[in-house]
């Protein structure tokens, strides 16, 4: 189940990066009257040069530079807490009755276990969001560096690039 969730999130990140890619494509104008054929040839040469200079290929599917953070929140936190609490309560006894102590212990353990699991899930979610922001920022920086190199090459060949 965790693998399916990870795959789904990875696909969403790829679609997000694809959207970023389209938004950052430079606009090229043939300032010296270059033909469409010449412009395509120059764009390909500059694509190749910029890719070599920056190590970034905008035609490749984006990949994460680091694995996503591990999820630490397990399943059944309340249930586990109740079981531990019941065991501890039975040992402590309440009003001389092991069953009352176990019941109270189970209730307190269940509440504490559920709260701990909820807190861990929140921390897991924050770590995942931070990782996603970091990945998006790294991609945007690499893409920006590539676009600067690509634009410089095209400007050197007589195009206006915005």
**Per-residue pLDDT tens over the stretch 148-157:** 999 999 999 9
Write the CA distances from 125 to 15, 37, 69, 72, 128, integer angstroms. 20, 50, 10, 10, 5
Q: Of 81 and 34, which is predicted with more confidence?
A: 34
pLDDT tens sequence across 124-152: 899 999 999 999 999 999 999 999 999 99
Tokens of 24: 């950052």
Please give the pLDDT value at position 42: 97
Token output for 113 = 């276990």
Report d(CA 28, CA 47) in Å as an integer: 13
Rounded to an integer, the average pLDDT of 31-42 is 96
pLDDT at 112: 72
DSSP at 55:
S
* pTM of the full structure: 0.60
């Amino acid at each position: 189940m965790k693998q399916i969730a990870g795959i789904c999130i990875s696909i969403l990140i790829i679609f997000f990066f694809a959207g970023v890619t389209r938004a950052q494509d430079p606009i090229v104008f043939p300032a010296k009257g270059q033909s469409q054929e010449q412009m395509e040839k120059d764009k390909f040469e500059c694509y190749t040069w910029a890719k070599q200079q920056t190590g970034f290929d905008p035609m490749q599917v984006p990949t994460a530079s680091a694995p996503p953070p591990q999820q630490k929140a397990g399943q059944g936190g309340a249930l586990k807490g109740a079981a531990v609490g019941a065991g501890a309560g039975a040992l402590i006894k309440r009003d001389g009755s092991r069953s009352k102590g176990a019941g109270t212990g189970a209730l307190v353990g269940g509440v504490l276990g559920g709260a701990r699991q909820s807190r861990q899930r929140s921390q897991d979610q924050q770590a995942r969001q931070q990782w996603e922001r970091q990945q998006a920022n790294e991609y945007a920086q690499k893409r920006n560096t590539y676009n600067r190199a690509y634009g410089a090459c095209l400007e050197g060949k007589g195009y206006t690039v915005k």
